[in-house]
Amino acid sequence: MGKNKRAPSAGWIVIVAVGSAACLPAQTLLDKGYRQMYNLDFAAAHATFAEFERENPKDAMGPVSDAAAYLFTEFDRLNILRSDYWIKDESFWVVNKPVGDAVLKKKFEDTLWWGQQMATETLKQSPDDMDAMLAETMGLGLHADYHALIEKKNLQALGEVKQSRTLAEKLLAVHPEVYDAYIAPGIENYLLSQKPLAIRWFLRLGGAETDRQLGIRNTRITAEKGRYFMPYARLLLAIADLRDNNREGAKQKLTWLSSEYPGNRLYREELERLVISK
């Protein structure tokens, strides 16, 4: 285990409530890389994740996290996480297909593939390895996000979302303290619950979960106690608040995000838009 390996889970369960002022985990290389990513400093994030990989060459969390930085680069470039991009479409799947960057997509796919291979090899030797299980779950979720939000390949995304949820449930059964894993069933249930009734019925026949309240509860767990996806979960909950016309709830989350990640103009602009439109 490298010296910058993740600290024990008990050291980072520190969030009390969504929107509250809270301390984040003690910095490791992974924590530092994700902080840089959420501050939109993608070049620095890639450099930090590369350093983590050099110190932990068998840890799949390195390349999978690097892939996350590529995905969030596209999210930023294409304005995919803006609230109006999500709220305008009742199904939560946008009508207009954005155009992804082909070079960046290849880097994303290659890095994610390598991370998945590393996770698979680790799990052959240690089936309950927490980091490998988390990397495997995260990898499928990130790939599903790319399919759904950038390429609009909804059927492929649905299949990976269900696989990610299954892996998350398996991970949580062994390591219930890995709160980032809750975002997988959270996103599946909430996003698919926005579909019309007939489509939800069809999705459930295919094994998908479409419980809106369950989706909110699971996503809230990541938003309150997660480590790497806490900011992402909080933003998704803020968007859900806006869809429900809960402006105060959205304001609390966006205020925390813009304060904690001052380099991220999205959080600041969303908060300003909310205040101006009051």
Query: To the nearest whole percent, how much of the chain has pLDDT over 90?
Result: 49
Using 50, 70 and 90 to split pLDDT, how confident is the model at 230? Answer: very high
Q: Average pLDDT for residues 200-208, to the nearest whole number?
A: 38
pLDDT exceeds 70 at position 17 = no
Decide which of 21 and 14 is more confident.
21
* pLDDT value for 186: 56
Q: Average pLDDT for residues 212-217, to the nearest whole number?
A: 72
Range name among 27-36, 173-182, 187-196 with the lowest pLDDT average: 187-196
Using 50, 70 and 90 to split pLDDT, how confident is the model at 52? Answer: very high
* pLDDT value for 69: 97
pLDDT exceeds 50 at position 204 = no
Neighbours of 275 (CB within 10 A): 12
Each residue's pLDDT tens digit, 87-113 = 654 444 444 567 889 999 999 999 999
CA gap 64, 71 in Å, rounded: 11
Range name among 30-39, 49-58, 190-199 with the lowest pLDDT average: 190-199
Extract the tokens encoding 238: 């803020």
Using 50, 70 and 90 to split pLDDT, how confident is the model at 205? Answer: very low
Q: Average pLDDT for residues 181-209, to the nearest whole number?
A: 49
Each residue's pLDDT tens digit, 132-164 = 999 999 998 898 888 877 887 777 777 787 788
* pLDDT value for 128: 96
Question: Mean pLDDT across the chain, nearest whole number?
Answer: 79
* pLDDT value for 148: 76
CA gap 155, 191 in Å, rounded: 14
Decide which of 196 and 74 is more confident.
74
* pLDDT value for 53: 96
pLDDT exceeds 60 at position 180 = yes
* pLDDT value for 211: 55
CA angle 239, 46, 102 (to 5 degrees): 75
* pLDDT value for 213: 72
* pLDDT value for 8: 30
Neighbours of 97 (CB within 10 A): 11
Q: What is the pTM of this model?
A: 0.81
Enumerate domains of the chain plus CATH numbers: 26-154+164-276 (1.25.40.10)
